Structure 1
Amino acid sequence: MGRDMVVTSDMDSVRQSALDHLWMHNSDWITMAEEGGPSIMVSGDGVRVTDSEGKVWIDAHGGYASVNAGYGQTGIADAMLEQMKKLTYFPQGTTTVPLIRLVEKLGELAPANLERVWPASGGSEANETAVKIARAYHKRRGDNGRYKVISRRGSYHGATGGVMWMGASAGLSDFEPAMPGMLYAPQPNFYRCEFDSSTPSECAERSAKAVEDLILLHSPDTVAALIGEPITSAGGVSVPSDEYWPMVREICDRYGVLLIADEVVTGFGRTGRMFAMEHYGVVPDIMTIAKGITSSYLPLAATISATYVADAFAGEDNVFRQALTFGGHPVTAAVALKNIEIIEQNDLVGNSERMGAYFLERLEELKGRHPSVGDVRGVGLLLGLELVRDRETKAPFDDSLQVSKRLTDKMSERGVIMRFSGDKVTIGPPLCITKDDIDEIVSAMDSAIGEMESELSLR
């Protein structure tokens, strides 16, 4: 008992230090203190984490849809330590064996001729690098006017100075003026199609045609690239119909626009394929990866270019001028190699496909029982759910009802970390999840949504 009290006292001090000094993502310390937070996690195993009070939680988000191999992979920790004992960094103008082996492996895994790898520290950096490569590539070819970048409304590509303007996200007024050259195309989300389409295919075709219209409106010789997640993770997930990406690929080819596939979330098995563009049989000109490359055990990302893009930078006068201190760190490279080995040896890509299909089936059952569930969607273990006040009109809930906070709190009470945003939630658990884990999550959702509907007199 005395020992437990000491531990509790120590943790109270740690929590107070967090409130005094830590600036957490999308949080403020005053509200956290009022709510008794922040929660402090101390260990993890598979899809579960344990907090400082000893409570065990299911992490339905898998970090930021990024702990692909699951928590508690001691083999990754061993690989990290082994490399740290040998070499922790590298002198300028040199490289290391782990990084060379990693880029070789990535060249094998990536589709077609995506073979030239630029290492970075995180997804935002990888996407910034991709845009810089695209703009510089056109300049190398004499197309000096190509600087504009097309993204899709409702997407998210990072938080740094350039890419944060992609996707036309709300809440950016603090950081104005906006980055020049940002163009926005429709999101091919049939449930919220901008064209009031009658089928997913019609929405996909009209959304792709809108990309072409945007290029023509701004003149092809001003557009450098289009960036998009193959399957959009933000806003409760958006899965385009099969027609969309082949059409966009053809449009980009027609007008000399580089296609950047943002696989930061979708890569390394998240959608039941190693990379999500494989679902559509489309090869981008540039691909960005992060998150699942190390399952978030250490920060690492990369921008992978097709050889015909990278070759524009070969030669002394053509060097791509950028240096990132922690890009290509030998310890993170060793971790990535071990992580990929675990993903392959345990068939986590296949498990994502199988468990994702089961999870989607269970969410469809949930939709059948609850009038507030307007839509469920997803591929593999990248799944989304959207709530509505009226299923027939798709009308959203009024903000004053605080539906997202209600459900986030109710899921927390049931031991599941699942944070709703507005009327939507994106679910991306570790790829080692089992049917029993899924049943436990869906049971908690069933109970929480039912309780919310009763409180709002929806049943």
Structure 2
Amino acid sequence: MKTDKKKALQEAQKVLDFILKEELTDQEKDQIVKDAIQNFNENVNPGWLAYRKSVSTDAAFVEWEDSVETFKDLYGNEFIDCLGGFGIYTCGHRNPEILKYVQAQLNRYALHSQELVDPLRGYLANILAMATPGDLQYAFFCNGGAEAVEMALKLARLASGKNYYISTVNGFHGKSLGAVTMGGKGTYRKPYLPMIQGVQHVEFGDADAAEKAIKNLIAVGETVAAMIVEPIQGEAGIILPPDGYLKRLREICDKYDVILIFDEIQTGMGRTGTMWAAEYYDVVPDIMTFGKAFGGGVMPITGIIARPHLWTEDIKENPWVLGSPTFGGNPVCCAAAIATIKYMLENDLPAQIDEKGKYMMGKLYELQKKHPILVDIRGKGLLIGLEYPTAEMGWGVSKGLFKRGVMTGGTLVNSKVNRIEPPGIISYETIDTIIERLDETLTEVEEEFNVTWESVAASKE
């Protein structure tokens, strides 16, 4: 492809005209669909279209606008958002109570100079310290979830002077090199082998295995910097911890002087029915990562918050040693995060999510009594997993729901599980609509795959 700046200018103007238009003609809509397919095939990754089509049965669905609980394609087809951008939209789509502060800050100044003191970052860090458990105090803001995990891993080594990490099988912490090293799924790790050394994986939920791994490493002369764990495993298929597991990890880490990292990028900000999952399990980690919903579904902002003893003199003397992301903690994103925390606390959104999650789980348990294909339901708050006998059946349910105007999705580590992660502001009426459409879909997929109570029972033998 030759450089053609004149053509690039023309194409940019065409796209910006689309953005400015209140209404598009049918011809313009068709053009956008055609362009989207061509651009993804030639300039992004054609695999994305193949993946999207596996759920939608039509790769030509192009997302164009959203509002509160739903989003629409170019032609006005509306979909109930039951996936929530994998946890982004806890406060809903374009929440006006968040958007107005972002717009106001955007009209003042968007990014910071990198040299002067940017006050919103300080305000956000202070508010976050007030809204997190225990003595978590010092915050560092960045842009994506994997980047936040990288900062947590780096801080653990800087603060401890130690080397090894303990992670969990089937855990998911992002796809940058350090984060994917912590991940517990070979599918993600194999393309990058050999990975960062000094990582040992143990079974999630087995605290004795974690202690044995730490103890054995120390016995052979190694040092262990940190253990990283999701309070509830998300990508693994919404796997809840056994009773007492996280508290036991806290005790083990204290015993061996190991830093405990909670990855709350998905479970935090109200998703599981408390502001942080750590609060429900009554455990204060040494470092906590956050993200996804932290920007209110409007702006991308993630980060870490840590206990004060981890901010050592070396880090204070060289504040850039941990990291210095150009856009991390920028004013517009900080405005979004401050507005999000305010909205959640003012409306007690975590409590709403707890109540709605129990209501939805109750409805799902009723469906399970009549549908043998629904082999397991698990979750907390509005982080719910629906498990089926096979991955093919799981994808069949995703397709059937999409056909009925409900967007959900399989988990990437365990595709037998549909992830149900709607906006926290979802109405009870919409929950009832989702249940009705799921009921129809389950019947359809059971007929397609000849699923009966007897066939499911036989598959377990």
Hey, which bits of structure 1, 4+ residues long, moved more than 6 A? 3-6, 23-26
Give how far 1:92 is off.
2.7
**Against the structure 1 CA distance between its residues 123 and 315, is the aligned structure 2 distance closer, same or farther, given a 3 Å change threshold?**
closer
Q: Which position in structure 2 is the counterpart of 1:135?
A: 157
2:355 aligned residue:
354
Q: Matches of 1:7 and 1:318 in 2, distance apart?
A: 53
Contact 1:15–1:40 (CA<8 Å) still a contact in 2?
yes
1:371–1:458: 8 Å Cα contact kept in structure 2?
yes
Question: Aligned residue pairs: how many?
Answer: 422
Task: For residues 36-73 of structure 1, give each alpha carbon's deviation from its aligned partner in whole angstroms, at most 9, with x where no partner exists.
Answer: 42422222222111211111111101112111100131
Please state how far the C-alpha of 1:109 moved relative to its aligned partner: 0.4
For 1:236-315, what aligned pairs fall within 5 Å after superposition? Answer: 236-315=237-316
Pairing partner for 2:166 from 136, 150, 162: 150
Matches of 1:63 and 1:175 in 2, distance apart? 26
Q: In the superposition, relative to structure 1, how do residues 178 and 282 fare at CA in structure 2: closer, same or farther (>3 Å)?
A: same
Deviation, structure 1 residue 333: 0.4
Which one of the candidate residues 168, 180, 196 is aligned to 2:184? Answer: 168
1:318 and 1:296, CA in 2 relative to 1: closer, same or farther beyond 3 A? closer
- Map of 1:213 onto structure 2: 212
Instruction: Output the CA distance in 1 between the equivalents of 2:214 and 2:254.
Output: 12
**Percent sequence identity over matched residues?**
29
- Work out whether 1:412 is the aligned partner of 2:434: no
CA RMSD of aligned residues (A): 2.3
Give the counterpart letter for 1:440 in structure 2.
Answer: T
d(CA) in 2 for partners of 1:405, 1:88: 41
Residue in 1 that maps onto 2:27: 9
Distance 1:92 1:72 in 2: 28
Distance 2:394 2:134 in 1: 42
C-alpha spacing 1:4/1:427, structure 2 compared with 1 (3 Å): same
**CA drift at 1:82:** 1.3
Contact 1:313 1:319 (8 Å CA) reproduced: no
1:28 and 2:48 correspond: yes
Q: Which amino acid aligns with 1:125?
A: E
CA distance in 1, matches of 2:51, 2:85: 22
Q: Match of 1:197? A: none
CA shift, 1:356, in A, is: 0.6
Normalising by the residue count of structure 2, what TM-score does the alignment of the two structures yield?
0.86
Aligned: 1:111 with 2:110: no
Deviation at 1:293, TM superposition (A): 1.0
Could you tell me which residue of structure 2 aligns to residue 228 of structure 1? 229
| 1:346 CA drift (Å) | 2.2
Who is 1:193 aligned against? none
SS in 2 for 1:114: coil
Among 168, 174, 185, the residue aligned to 2:202: 185
Distance 1:324 1:96 in 2: 14
Q: Equivalent residue for 2:380?
A: 379
| 1:439 equivalent in structure 2 | 432
Question: Which residue of structure 1 aligns with residue 90 of structure 2?
Answer: 68
- What corresponds to 2:346 in structure 1? 345
Asked if the contact 2:50–2:59 (Cα under 8 Å) also holds between the matched residues in 1, the reply is no
Say yes or no: does 1:427 pair with 2:420.
yes
**Equivalent-residue separation in structure 2 for 1:294 and 1:30 (angstroms):** 30
Instruction: Note closer, same or farther for the CA distance 1:157–1:69 as it changes in structure 2 (3 Å cut).
Output: same
Q: Does 1:403 align with 2:425?
A: no
Shift of 1:317: 5.7
Q: Structure 2 CA distance, aligned partners of 1:99 and 1:89?
A: 11
Specify every segment of 5 or more residues in structure 2 that has no aligned partner in the other structure, as ranges. Answer: 1-20, 453-461
Q: Note closer, same or farther for the CA distance 1:306–1:4 as it changes in structure 2 (3 Å cut).
A: closer
Report the counterpart of residue 201 of structure 1 in structure 2.
none
Q: Deviation of residue 288 (structure 1)? A: 0.5
Instruction: State the AA in 1 paired with 2:409.
Output: R
SS in 2 for 1:135: helix
3-state SS of the aligned residue for 1:297? coil
Deviations 1:297-316 (A, max 9, x none): 11101111100111344542
Q: Distance in 2 between matches of 1:39 and 1:222?
A: 51
Instruction: Give the Cα separation in 2 of the matches to 1:227 and 1:310.
Output: 18
Q: How far apart are the structure 1 equivalents of 2:44 and 2:211?
A: 40
Q: What SS does structure 1 have at the residue aligned with 2:29?
A: helix
TM-score, normalised via structure 1 length: 0.87
**Structure 1 residues 99-138: Cα deviation after superposition (integer angstroms, max 9, x where no partner):** 1111111010011111100111111111110000001112
What amino acid is the match of 1:181?
Answer: G
| Matched-pair contact (CA < 8 Å) for 2:388–2:394 | no
Q: Which amino acid aligns with 1:14?
A: I
Asked whether the equivalents of residues 259 and 286 of structure 2 are also in contact (C-alpha less than 8 Å), the reply is yes
Report the 3-state secondary structure (helix = DSSP H, G, I; strand = E; otherwise coil) of the residue aligned with 2:440: helix
The 8 Å contact of residues 93 and 297 in structure 2, kept in 1 or not, is answered as no
Q: Is the 8 A contact 2:78 2:405 kept in 1?
A: yes
Equivalent of 2:79 in 54, 57, 60 = 57
- The SS at the match of 2:91 is coil
Displacement, 1:177?
2.1
The C-alpha deviation readout for 1:172-224, integer Å capped at 9, x for no partner, is 32222222122111122xxxxxxxxxxxxxxxxxx111111111222274211
1:294 touches 1:340 (CA, 8 Å); kept in 2? no
